[in-house]
Amino acid sequence: MYQRIVIKVGTNVLTRADGRVDITSISSLVDQIALLKREGVELVLVSSGAVGAGKELLPGRTDDGAVAQRQVYSAIGQVRLMELYRQLFAGHGLLCAQVLATKGDFRDDLHYDNMLNCFRALLVDEIVPVVNENDVVAVTELMFTDNDELAGLVARMVDAEALVILSSVEGLYDGPPESSKSKLIARVDSQDRAVANFVQARKTSGGRGGMATKLRIAAETARAGIPVMIGNGRRPGILQDILKGEWPGTVVG
C-alpha cells in the first residue's frame, strides 16, 4: 500500500452539469480521503473548482473570458470551496489547509523550499493540504497548463509514491470514450510515445486541459519514478481501490 500520494480532482468531478458545485460528489471524495487517512496514508489534495464555485456565487453575469473576471471568480470561489472542504473534513475530525501556488513558485528556489517545508509540516501534523493554482495572480507565463501539471509538480516535490488524477472519464481509451467500440487501456508505458495517437484533443467543458494533457503530465511524472493512476472521480469508492491494490482506470508507469 502507498504511504504518500497526491490526489488531483478535476472541475467536472466537483461540479454538476449546470456548473454548480456538486456537494454530494465533494462529500464522497472527502469520505474516501478520510478512509485513506485512517489507514495511515499521507496525502495532498490538488483541487480545481474555484472558478466554477465563483460563477455560482455571481449568477447571471456574462462570462466574457476576461482575465480580471476569472480573477474575481477565483477569489470568491476559493473561499466557498475551502469552506466546504473545512466543514466536510471536520466531520471526520480532520483539518485541511489551503496552499495556493503559481508556476513561478516552482522556478524560484526560495519559494520552492518554503512550499516544501510547509507541506512537510502539514503532513507531520496529519493535516490535509488542499492545493490549487493561485488564479488571482497567475496570468500568462505564471499559469500552469492546468491543475494536472500542478499535481505532477507537487507529487515530485513531496516525493509521493503515486499520483491519482480523477477526471470525468474512466481513463485512457483506444478511441473516442463515448464509442461502444472503444476499449479502456489499463496500462501505459511512460516511454510509449505511440499511445498519444489514441488521445482526443478535445477538452472537457469545465477545465482548461484534456486527456492529452493528462497523458503528457502522467508520462513525465511516471518517468520521474511516480506511477500515475487516471480514473473516474464519480465512480463510487474509487479511492478505496488503492487500498486493495487495484485500479479500475488507466495506470501510467
Query: Which residues contribute to the annotated binding site for ATP?
Result: 8
- Alpha-carbon distance of 44 to 145, in angstroms, equals 20
Residue 192: phi and psi, rounded to 5, are -80, 100
Neighbours of 249 (CB within 10 A): 23
- Alpha-carbon distance of 48 to 148, in angstroms, equals 10
- Alpha-carbon distance of 244 to 39, in angstroms, equals 12
Distance of CA 213 to the CA centre of its chain: 13
Binding-site positions = 8, 48, 135, 147
Neighbours of 5 (CB within 10 A): 24
Let me know the angle formed at the C-alpha of 8 by 63 and 29, rounded to the nearest 5 degrees. Answer: 95
Binding-site positions for substrate = 48, 135, 147
DSSP assignment string, 100-168: EE-THHHHSHHHHHHHHHHHHHHHHTT-EEEEEE-TTT--GGG--SSHHHHHHHHHHHTT-SEEEEEES
Neighbours of 49 (CB within 10 A): 27
Structure-block grid coordinates of residue 62: 456574462
- Alpha-carbon distance of 48 to 209, in angstroms, equals 11
- Alpha-carbon distance of 236 to 113, in angstroms, equals 37
